[in-house]
Amino acid sequence: MTSDRQTTLQNLRRLLPASLIAGLVGGGLLALPAYVHTWCWSGIACYNHGLFDGIGTFQNLVLGILSLLLTGMLPVALSREGGMKRDFAVLAGGIAGFTAVMVNYLYSQATSVFGHGYAPELSDVLSAIIFPFANHALPFLALALAMAALAAIGAFVVSFFRERAAGPNEGAAASRLILCSTAAAILVVVVLPPLAAHAMLGAEMIDVNPGTALMTTAVSAERTAPGIIVITVEETPPASVLDPGKPFSVFMNGVDVSDASACAASGFSATVEPPGGLSPAKGAEAAWTGAGVSNNGTPVDVVVVARGADGSEIIVLSLRV
């Protein structure tokens, strides 16, 4: 065996463990966008689906690319061998990227089986993993190779700057700087878009769809005494979404008791405090007191309807109290 071949095999043996470890880390990073999307946008996507779904999709794409680049950088940046040839570095990055794709595939298929609410058999898990791969092997391999190529690009970048450095210590420092910068970029992509979206929503700089934004409204009702029912606003959309004249309509046993005037007009035997009824603010409360809300063995049917500025309506509470 020639010395060149021995050197090649030694390099491969040295790089393979680091590549596999980097692939495991990369598989976790590739699973991150799904959780990030839920964390960032699940609470506000309904305000403007077109805008926030588009931003979330672009965010996931950028996170996926950065995660693959970081995966490819890891085995090279963490290597103590400053004289690693660039072709071996690229190979290590590609192996790490391909491993990350496979790890992410196994994770996603396994979690899809366990997410059905029952303990699956081993055969169910194996079927979920094997059958999709067998039926779509070529497209999957093409996608995996493309993603591995992105990881190889990350390894190439680190290797390039490492070779250009004045010495081994400077090269290691440069590679770690690139690694940390990429990790910081991932953090920025995760945090900045939702922060900006929340700030713009608070400043009413984003057009909100009242019909869907009303779905974020949450209202609770409780009986604090035999003749008292208190309704509390737990969550509410931006004020611009709700009808400024009558944001909430309250019905008890089918009678409109939204405010003191409605109670008087319907002859419902109860007083409302405050007289204007339920305010469209988080934490706002209104209490109905009187014989009409007394529980004489039969609970009172309480229905609260939120009204949007565009005329839309949604029942946010239907409860027997």
Label residue 1 by pLDDT band (50, 70, 90).
very low
Distance CA 213, CA 155 (A): 45
Size of the chain in residues: 321
In order of 39, 40, 118, 120, 125, the CA distances from 114 in angstroms are 21, 24, 7, 6, 8
Distance CA 289, CA 298 (A): 16
Integer-rounded Cα Rg, in Å, for the chain is 30
Count of other CB atoms within 10 angstroms of residue 14: 17
Residue 199 has pLDDT above 80, yes or no: yes
Number of H helices, E strands in the chain: 8, 8
Tokens of 67: 């995660």
Dump pLDDT digits (tens) for 63-101: 999 999 999 998 887 775 555 577 888 888 999 999 999
DSSP H or E run through 197 = helix 168-202
Tokens of 276: 């204007």
DSSP string, 41-75: HTTTGGG-HHHHHHHHHHHHHHHHHHHHHHHHHHH
Count of other CB atoms within 10 angstroms of residue 264: 12
DSSP H or E run through 147 = helix 137-164
318: β partners: 303
DSSP H or E run through 302 = strand 301-307
HEC letters along 248-271? EEEEECCEECCCHHHHHHHCCCCE
Burial of 296 (0-12, 13-18, 19+ CB in 10 A): exposed
Which CATH code is given to the segment(s) 210-320?
Answer: 2.60.40
Domain ranges across the chain: 3-202, 210-320
Dump pLDDT digits (tens) for 300-321: 999 999 988 888 888 999 999 8
Distance CA 161, CA 169 (A): 12
Tokens of 154: 């990350």
What's the whole-model pTM score? 0.69
Positive or negative, the CA dihedral 272, 276, 280, 284 is negative
Distance CA 114, CA 128 (A): 11
Task: Give SS3 for 27.
Answer: helix
Q: Is the peptide bond before 274 cis (omega within 30 degrees of 0)?
A: yes
Q: State the pLDDT at residue 135.
A: 85
Dump pLDDT digits (tens) for 120-148: 777 777 888 888 888 888 988 999 999 99
Percent of the chain topping pLDDT 90:
34
Average pLDDT over residues 236-250: 82
Phi, psi of 286 (to 5 degrees): -145, 140
Q: State the pLDDT at residue 56.
A: 87
